[in-house]
Chains A and B, each alone.
Chain A
Amino acid sequence: MGAFRAIVLRDLRVAFRRWSEVANPFVFFAVVVALFPLSLSPSAPELRSIGVGVVWIAALLSSLLALDGLFRNDAEDGSLEQLLLSPVPFGVTVLAKIAAHWLVSVLPLVLLVPLSALSFRLPASGLPTLAFALLLATPSLSVLLALGAALTVSLKRGGAIIGLLILPLAAPLLIFGTRATDFALHGEPVAGPLYLLAAMAAAAVSLGPPAVAAALKVGLE
């Protein structure tokens, strides 16, 4: 547990010293969201009908940009190898790094996405559900992103391929996330899709780190 906290704190400190690198994906998110009303018609009913999907997809795409800070920088300067050699179980190390990455690069989306949904004229009644669905979906997303980053950690340029690996696997998160939000907007009960998102988060956080750790070990050889 002490090691877990130490790694999280260290990663947070590293992230805040490179804050522009951390901020880039969020700026990207804002730009992508802004492009949709420009390319489609900016009338209110139309924006309302596409808004939920647009903000979810923009969040998914922007989170792909934040991956280099997760393992690559540490793998390149050798600190990841030191962590692998330390007596702390490597799965714990990986989980700590995923948690730190989630706090810095994914959690802000939970605030940012409902804000931008508001600009798509979505009624405010749906926003708490949207934020809560994001809160439940992002842990699984973080684990998937970590897996993509770990599988490509030894490649010189892994960026383009990660999207191809991760996005098909992230489809269920998108489906249930947008479903929950749609249900909320139409005043229907939202518990079903939210429970499924929570179940997937539990499965991803418990089963994911060993797979990520295995991929990293192969990558670091």
Chain B
Amino acid sequence: MKLPRWFHQLGSPPYVYRLAERLSPWLGWSGCLLIAVGALWGLFGAPPDFRQGEVYRIIYIHPQTSYVGMMAYVVMAVAGAVGFIWRIKLAHAVAVSAAPIGASFVLCSLITGAIWGRPTWGTYWEWGDPRIMSQTLLLFLFLGYLALRASFEDRDKADRVSAILAVVGVVNIPIIHYSVEWWNSLHQGPSITRLDEPAIHASMLVPFLIMVAGFTFFFYWLLLNRLQGEIVERERDARWVQELVSGGRP
């Protein structure tokens, strides 16, 4: 089987650098636009909730940060696995770029969750809650990954060792998720990703989904920016990077 040309091009640092440069304004602007529209709609357009009143409006921030945090972990693990198996250095660069973004999103999710928890559950932090615990463990997995990378001098070794950790972690994420889920629960059940009709009304659902799309674009925009930096750092001895840094176009 002959692989298409663009597939091989995706392994070439200057090509990917320029691709990221072309794509990132689109992702960045559409992400910001979607977040602005979704936030205004969610804050002023959507009706207040029957039981939670106005405070429910954090639903336009909090679930999105949790979702992006988990997606970042999957991106990191898949990129790490691709890099490990086919020895593609760019895939490792993607994995490294995703880790700190994912950790920040998980942290945001814990913070916004605490802000939401205070008025609705009466507490900022509940040790007995499975969602809080599994997000906390996810944060520790990210921090472990970053700490493991930081302790290696040799970048190539750090890439491959941390890829193994990321893949083992992704096997464990469902186990962690369900183990804490069955353990004890205060958090509400899923209301969007059910197989039958969503449990929330369309007037609330539409801005919610706009925010999900906005956060996703925002994440990939951040990822591409970090990836560009990572590529420049890894390829700093290459001629095209030196031309790029000294002002000429590559």
Contacts and interface: CB of A to CB of B under 8 A. Distances in A.
Interface of A: 147, 151-152, 154-155, 158, 161, 164-165, 167-169, 171-172, 175-176, 179, 196, 200, 207, 211, 214-215, 218-219, 221
B29 interface: no
Interface in B51-94: 84
Contacts of A207: 171
Given A155-B152, A215-B161, A218-B164, A179 B144 contact: no
Select the residue from A164, A171, A214 with max chain B CB neighbours within 10 A.
Answer: A171
Given A151-B164, A165-B144, 11 more contacts: A152-B151, A154-B157, A164-B140, A164-B147, A165-B165, A169-B172, A169-B176, A172-B176, A175-B183, A214-B164, A215-B161
Contacts of B152: 154-155
B248 to A, nearest CB: 38
Given A161-B147, A164-B143, A169 B168 contact: yes
Given A164-B144, A221-B157, A171 B137 contact: yes
Interface string B140-153: 11011001100110
B140 A168 contact: yes
Given A155-B152, A215-B161, A215-B164, A172 B147 contact: no
Contact of B179 (A154, A155, A165, A176): A176
Given A151-B165, A211-B164, A218 B141 contact: no
Give the size category of B's interface with A: 20 to 34
22 contacts: A147-B168, A151-B161, A151-B164, A151-B165, A152-B148, A155-B151, A155-B152, A164-B147, A165-B147, A165-B165, A168-B140, A168-B141, A169-B141, A169-B169, A171-B137, A172-B176, A175-B180, A179-B183, A196-B179, A214-B84, A218-B160, A219-B161
Contacts of A218: 157, 160-161, 164
Contacts of A151: 148, 161, 164-165
B6 to A, nearest CB: 30
Contact of A165 (B84, B133, B148): B148
Select the residue from A176, A218, A219 with max chain B CB neighbours within 10 A.
Answer: A218
A172 B148 contact: no
Contacts of A155: 151-152
A46 to B, nearest CB: 18
Contacts of A196: 179
B95 to A, nearest CB: 15
B37 interface: no
A200 B174 CA distance: 12
Contacts, number: 68
B175 interface: yes
Interface in B102-156: 133, 137, 140-141, 143-144, 147-148, 151-152
B222 interface: no
A161 B151 contact: yes
Nearest to A221: B157
A118 B31 CA distance: 59
A89 B157 CA distance: 23
Select the residue from A151, A155, A219 with max chain B CB neighbours within 10 A.
Answer: A151
B167 interface: yes
Contacts of A165: 144, 147-148, 165
Nearest to A158: B151
**What are the 3 tightest A-B residue pairs by CB atom distance, in nearest-first order?**
A172-B179, A168-B140, A165-B144
B137 A168 contact: yes
Nearest to B146: A164
B174 to A, nearest CB: 10
Nearest to B168: A211
B144 A168 contact: yes
Nearest to A144: B168
A130 to B, nearest CB: 18
Contacts of A161: 144, 147-148, 151
Contacts of B151: 152, 155, 158, 161
